[in-house]
A and B are shown apart, each in its own frame.
Chain A
Amino acid sequence: MKTWVLSIAAALAVAGTVIRAIFFTPFEVVQGPAQKIFYLHAPAAWVAFLAFGLVAIASALYLWLRDERLDRFAESSAEVGVVFTTVVLITGPLWGKPIWGTYWTWDARLTLTLFLWFIYVGYIVLRGAIDDHSMRARYSAVLGILGAFLIPFIHLSVYLFRTLHPMPIVLKPSAPSLPGEMLTTLLMSFLSFTLLYAAFLQARYRLAGERDVVEAAADAR
């Protein structure tokens, strides 16, 4: 599939979701307008977990099969995951200030998410610091796998620790606790931002492939 097809589909889906969230979804009665940050924050967190989970799977497969495409996939997914985690770490405090009265607190979920961001920023820095291609792929694969172990702890942190962060309202054993209009907007936002992840991933993967071709040609000279 051409890169622009997926990119345009993702851009339209995100635009539609944002328009629905802003203009056609009611304000929550207790939190007011600040609650709408949720339609940006929660999908970004879901996509970040998906991205880093796929980094771990691709990295484990790379260590087994030594296929460079898996390394390229892991590299691409990690970078896109960092972008989404950055959005999580910015939009979360902007919700926290009006609702909790503070931008940041060293709560288990917030702190672990910040650590996750540091680990994958470290992953990107590590990749840039090693010239040897196979060594870079091996070292970063190990870090990519270890970093993903934080994901279940982050998801379960609201149960494991005493925390300020709200409990899950959709990804939980019982039925989602949201009114229909808000739930529809939330599900649309999950779908559209997952599509945006796929579009970024596809573009970043192609960039990595073209870069490797250019580097191989330069090495051959």
Chain B
Amino acid sequence: MWWRPLPMPDNAIYYHVAYGIGLSIYLLYGISLFVRRSRLRT
């Protein structure tokens, strides 16, 4: 086969999971601030 995907480097899964969870926490907190403020105004 002339083409093959690059192998995933060792331990890359940990860094993908860390970025996924870490950034999701910030995003969810930002959304929670927006929702709490909207609920307060109604």
Contacts and interface: CB of A to CB of B under 8 A. Distances in A.
Interface of A: 7, 14, 18, 22, 27, 31-37, 40-41, 44, 80, 83, 86-87, 90-91, 94-95, 97-98, 196, 200, 203-204, 206-207, 210-211, 214
Interface of B: 9-12, 14-15, 17-19, 21-23, 25-26, 29-30, 33-34, 36-37, 40-41
B25 to A, nearest CB: 5
Contacts, number: 80
8 contacts: A7-B30, A31-B11, A32-B12, A33-B15, A35-B15, A90-B21, A91-B21, A211-B40
B37 A94 contact: no
Instruction: Label chain A's interface by main secondary structure.
Output: helix
Contacts of B17: 94
Contacts of B15: 33-37, 94
Contacts of B26: 14, 83, 87, 196
Contacts of A204: 33
B5 to A, nearest CB: 16
Given A40-B22, A211-B40, A200 B29 contact: yes
Given A37-B15, A200-B33, 20 more contacts: A7-B30, A14-B23, A18-B23, A27-B9, A31-B11, A33-B10, A37-B19, A40-B23, A87-B22, A87-B25, A90-B22, A90-B25, A91-B18, A94-B17, A95-B18, A97-B14, A196-B26, A203-B33, A207-B36, A211-B40
A179 B36 CA distance: 43
Contacts of B11: 31-34, 98
